[in-house]
Amino acid sequence: MGKSKIYKISTQVMDERFFSTEFVIEATSCEQQYIWQDCTERLGLSWVQENPGLAPTIGIRDGSPICVMFSWNIIGGVRIMFYTCTSLLADHEMVDTWLKTYCNPMCDNGTRRAHADAMNFSHIHQRNSRK
């Protein structure tokens, strides 16, 4: 493993949506499009896109920046954050560590992280419909 550094971010400059996110989904823009189509056409859920998204550099790995694109949508009344690593070098462990520090919503009475990938988005919908 090479040398890495995660940037510390002051919570005063954080976008407030990081704190009010209920679920976190790792998904490319194409995967988000498929989720949107499924949610709106098949499930009939409302979908409100909150713009703009953010694309900060969250850290450095071997001299290369690690950049992540974050975007938020209100789906069926629930704020969901989508993210994807957009830099040439992707360090998924660094991204996960950053998310645990700055945006780590919990579910199931605080026993599980409210995180999934695009393939498992249906788990979020199923969990949410039981509220």
* DSSP run (H or E) holding 31: helix 29-37
Give the whole-angstrom CA distance, residue 46 versus residue 60: 38
How do residues 86-104 score in pLDDT, each as one tens digit? 999 999 999 999 999 999 9
Sheet strands (E) in the chain: 4-6, 23-26, 47-54, 57-61, 64-75, 78-85, 106-107, 112-113, 115-117
How do residues 49-93 score in pLDDT, each as one tens digit? 997 788 999 999 999 999 999 999 999 999 999 999 999 999 999
At 102 the three-state DSSP class reads helix
Please, where are the H alpha helices in 70-129?
92-102, 121-129
- Predicted TM-score (pTM) of the model is 0.89
The pLDDT assigned to 4 comes to 81
